[in-house]
């Protein structure tokens, strides 16, 4: 681990997030500027196991900063979960002389990096790329801002139909284990209720509030549900229809539209900043950390700590939701 890093590999892993290409670009161009050789590992850890590794030059990342998805592709690799798979990956890195890695992904990707770096002499740096914003130790993750803005734009358009027909809409956004997209998009669009995995759902309280609003002839209501909560939007709508048969209830599942599209300016900026910082970490021998941003300053968290913690939603946010939805 004390050897000087001279050749690095960069990969994207797990779910794609808008801004991953901007991070790849920053890693490649910063690495080359600092005198490193840079290799792209295609399809995440699967590319390491299968030796799908390509040399990258500055022109390899031209005209990609505005593109969604990831030019290096991504995926999940069951073989990498096993020791034999990781041995194959290590042997392939050695063939190319790669002695440092930058992993752009979420907590599952960081968990793989932590295990790999503990077993072999390859230092790893994590760059948080996930639309869920569920990694503790950073105020932002690459892709979250774009995903939320996509959800807000869609919900704003749906609200026009809600108002026109006096309907209740239950809208499902991504976030099986994290409610940040639901929370932020719900507050930004004036949702009457926001259901997130981090907080217990009192469906009876929601039904009581809807009955009261029905009595007051407030028939336009918006409920934003994180996909992993209460069985999702369809299940929530089913309960409401059973208990309030006179309500006009419609469901909209936004789905993977939230993952795609050109990254926002903010996501491009933080991706560029984090990619640059990842190379700095390797050159300064600040190994096996992920780079985050806290209070607008770079923050470095050991990978073994990052995989143990989850980003928490403060009670203040929930209080704001309650007050503004009345």
Residues annotated as catalytic are 132
- Tokens 């969604």 belong to 68
- Calpha distance 120→115 (Å, rounded): 9
Asked if 309 and 136 count as a contact pair (C-beta separation under 8 A), the reply is yes
- Calpha distance 272→215 (Å, rounded): 52
Query: Alpha helices of 219-287 — where are they, by DSSP H?
Result: 233-243, 265-283
- HSE toward the beta carbon, residue 244, CA cutoff 13 A: 22
- HSE toward the beta carbon, residue 173, CA cutoff 13 A: 33
Q: Would strands 100-105 and 53-56 be described as parallel, antiparallel, or unpaired?
A: unpaired
- 249-281 burial: b if 16+ Cβ within 10 Å, else e: bebbbbeeebbebebbeebbebbbbbbbbbbeb
Q: Would strands 53-56 and 7-12 be described as parallel, antiparallel, or unpaired?
A: unpaired
């Amino acid at each position: 681990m004390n050897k000087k890093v001279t050749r690095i590999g960069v990969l994207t892993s797990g779910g794609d997030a808008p801004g991953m290409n901007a991070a790849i670009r920053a890693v490649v161009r910063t690495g080359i500027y600092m005198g490193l050789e840079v290799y792209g590992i295609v399809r995440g850890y699967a590319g390491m196991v299968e030796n799908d590794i390509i040399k990258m030059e500055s022109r390899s990342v031209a005209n990609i900063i505005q593109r969604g998805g990831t030019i290096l592709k991504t995926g999940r690799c069951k073989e990498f979960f096993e020791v034999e798979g990781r041995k194959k990956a290590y042997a392939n890195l050695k063939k190319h002389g790669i002695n440092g890695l930058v992993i752009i992904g979420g907590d599952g990707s960081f968990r793989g990096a932590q295990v790999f770096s503990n077993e072999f002499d390859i230092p790893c740096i994590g760059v948080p790329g996930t639309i869920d914003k569920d990694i503790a130790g950073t105020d932002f993750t690459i892709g979250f801002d774009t995903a939320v803005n996509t959800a807000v734009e869609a919900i704003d358009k749906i609200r026009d139909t809600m108002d026109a027909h006096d309907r209740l809409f239950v809208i499902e956004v991504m976030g099986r284990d994290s409610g940040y997209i639901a929370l932020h998009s719900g507050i930004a669009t004036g949702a009457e209720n926001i259901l997130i995995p981090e907080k217990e759902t009192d469906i009876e309280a929601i039904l009581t509030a809807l009955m009261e609003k029905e009595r007051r002839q407030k028939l336009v209501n918006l409920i934003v549900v994180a996909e992993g909560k209460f069985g999702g939007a369809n299940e929530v709508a089913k309960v409401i229809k059973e208990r309030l048969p006179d309500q006009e209830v419609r469901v909209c599942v936004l789905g993977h539209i939230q993952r795609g599209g050109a990254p926002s300016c903010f996501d491009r900026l933080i991706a560029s900043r984090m990619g640059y910082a990842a190379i700095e970490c390797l050159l300064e021998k600040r190994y096996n950390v992920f780079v985050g941003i806290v209070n607008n300053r770079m923050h470095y968290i050991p990978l073994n700590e990052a995989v143990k913690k989850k980003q928490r939603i403060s009670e203040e946010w929930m209080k704001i939701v309650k007050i503004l939805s009345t």
